[in-house]
Structure 1
Amino acid sequence: MADTSLFILRAKEFHLFVLVYVDDLIVTGSCPNRIQEFITSLAARFSLKDLGLLSFFLGIEASRSAKGLFLCQCKYISDLLHRNNMHDAKAVSTPMASTSRLTLKSDWAGDPGDFKSTGAFVVYLGKHPISWSSKKLSVTLDPPPKPSTVESGSLRVLHVSSRDQLANVLTKPLPRNSFHDLIAKIGITSGAPT
């Protein structure tokens, strides 16, 4: 799937990346001289204000270290907690109580009243998760596949253990160890890089 807000120029000697959001731009690349040439070219055609090195964009803070660029949403989360009068709330090791049972079976059409399941996704920047979402989904209960499709090999049915479902960290209450194992597999870390 193409990202219509990211423009990439790949030349033999350099790469240039331009990320556009409404009237904000992030310009970066492998050659500082080419980046400056591009910004100067834009400024000749448009009213442009260069804000310098990236520090904050779309609720994401950016800070640099010897290891690279660190992205976090600390300010966004702090603002969200203040807006909802939760700034004095105490931290917990998992976001949901793991002792409560939401259903007696898996979450596939987990609510027998509305036949909805909870689905989730994680958005990555490179190998680092930067956002996630989960919501209730409608599920259509189809009849099971015909045995002949399985026997012929045109449909392969595999069991995936619940402990290996990464989406569980976003959709189900989990014991602390399972929660921390899954967020580590997703790539979520706490704190700035050292």
Structure 2
Amino acid sequence: MVDLVVAIHTVVKGVSAIADKVVAEEEHPAVRYADRTGTPPSTATSGSKTDVSLFHYSASTSHVFLLVYVDDIIMMGDNSTLIDALLRRLSSTFKIRDLGTPNFFLGIEMLPVKEGLLLFQRRYMGDLLTRAGMSDCKPIATPASITHAVVPNVELFDNPTQYKRLAGALQYLTITLPDLSYVVNRLYQFLHAPTTEHWGLLKRVLGYVKGTLDYGLRLSVSASCDIHAFSDTD
């Protein structure tokens, strides 16, 4: 059960050395940083095999996770004493500033709720609608039509750069709105030569975004560690 979240902002490039070390030693899961960073040998972190920005530290039955992005870190763990100790070790090696519990990180807003966190991107969504000139558009209940199929259209959209930028921005929005994953993937299939029909599809997605400004992704504590997967056999 995670009971504490701490955000750290580093003001030097020292954290990059940690990331470089993990990339260079992916074959060694328990990476020690004493040789490059001067971190005490007792501080050993394991780098994720799937994400070079994610690190894991364990001590007895306690666990701490560190997510690094350039010179920003989010630290999360189930033992506040251990987190404080790691913060002291980091501050002895790098010049850091503890920002406390995070509320905004890389465009994602975090709101503490009962037994968890609510992640949402209302500010990012508003900026996206403004860039598309659709701040005052009418909200749409669904991101895509289930009755209207895409038909061949030879009329190319006159601003393909705008299409590509907005489609890319929608991709980042799927972090807190995973229900957009399918339709955004469809939009990506037409990046090379979007037509006016494809632009219409993208605008419909933005209309759906307008109607989901207050939606977010709830992360809550689970009593079970079982993984459940769902699939459409059709």
TM-score range, shorter chain: 0.5 to 0.7
Q: State whether residues 17 and 27 of structure 1, in contact with CA within 8 Å, keep that contact through their aligned partners in structure 2.
A: yes
- For residue 189 of structure 2, the aligned residue among 136, 145, 152 is 136
In the other structure, the counterpart of 1:86 is 134
Q: What displacement does 1:124 show?
A: 6.7
Larger Rg: 1
1-structure distance, mates of 2:137, 2:115: 32
Query: 5+ unaligned residues in a row in structure 1: which ranges?
Result: 104-110, 114-120, 138-169, 174-188
In the other structure, the counterpart of 2:86 is 38
Q: What displacement does 1:98 show?
A: 4.0
In the other structure, the counterpart of 2:215 is 190
Q: What displacement does 1:66 show?
A: 1.2
Q: What is the identity, as a one-letter code, of the residue corresponding to 1:88?
A: D
Deviates more, 1:53-62 or 1:79-88: 79-88
Q: State whether residues 64 and 70 of structure 1, in contact with CA within 8 Å, keep that contact through their aligned partners in structure 2.
A: yes
What is the aligned length?
131
> Taking every aligned residue pair, what percent have the same amino acid on both sides?
35
Query: 5+ unaligned residues in a row in structure 2: which ranges?
Result: 1-48, 155-170, 191-200, 205-213, 219-234
Work out whether 1:12 is the aligned partner of 2:60: yes
Q: What displacement does 1:191 show?
A: 5.6
1-structure distance, mates of 2:112, 2:149: 43
Q: State whether residues 143 and 180 of structure 2, in contact with CA within 8 Å, keep that contact through their aligned partners in structure 1.
A: no
Give 3-state SS (helix, strand or coil) of 1:51's partner. strand
Give TM-score scaled by structure 1 length. Answer: 0.55
In the other structure, the counterpart of 1:25 is 73
Give 3-state SS (helix, strand or coil) of 2:125's partner. helix
Q: What is the identity, as a one-letter code, of the residue corresponding to 2:115?
A: K
Q: State whether residues 65 and 77 of structure 2, in contact with CA within 8 Å, keep that contact through their aligned partners in structure 1.
A: yes
Q: State whether residues 109 and 120 of structure 2, in contact with CA within 8 Å, keep that contact through their aligned partners in structure 1.
A: yes
Q: Provide closer, same or farther for how the CA distance between residues 13 and 192 of structure 1 changes in structure 2, counting only shifts above 3 A.
A: closer
Q: What displacement does 1:192 show?
A: 7.6
Write out per-residue CA displacement over residues 17-52 of structure 1, whole angstroms, 9 at most, x where no aligned residue.
Answer: 000001110011010111111111111111111111
Give 3-state SS (helix, strand or coil) of 2:100's partner. coil
Q: Provide closer, same or farther for how the CA distance between residues 74 and 130 of structure 1 changes in structure 2, counting only shifts above 3 A.
A: farther
Work out whether 1:2 is the aligned partner of 2:27: no
Q: State whether residues 14 and 31 of structure 1, in contact with CA within 8 Å, keep that contact through their aligned partners in structure 2.
A: yes
Q: What displacement does 1:88 show?
A: 0.8
Give 3-state SS (helix, strand or coil) of 2:123's partner. helix
Q: State whether residues 63 and 70 of structure 1, in contact with CA within 8 Å, keep that contact through their aligned partners in structure 2.
A: yes
- For residue 105 of structure 2, the aligned residue among 49, 57, 62 is 57
Q: State whether residues 124 and 130 of structure 1, in contact with CA within 8 Å, keep that contact through their aligned partners in structure 2.
A: no
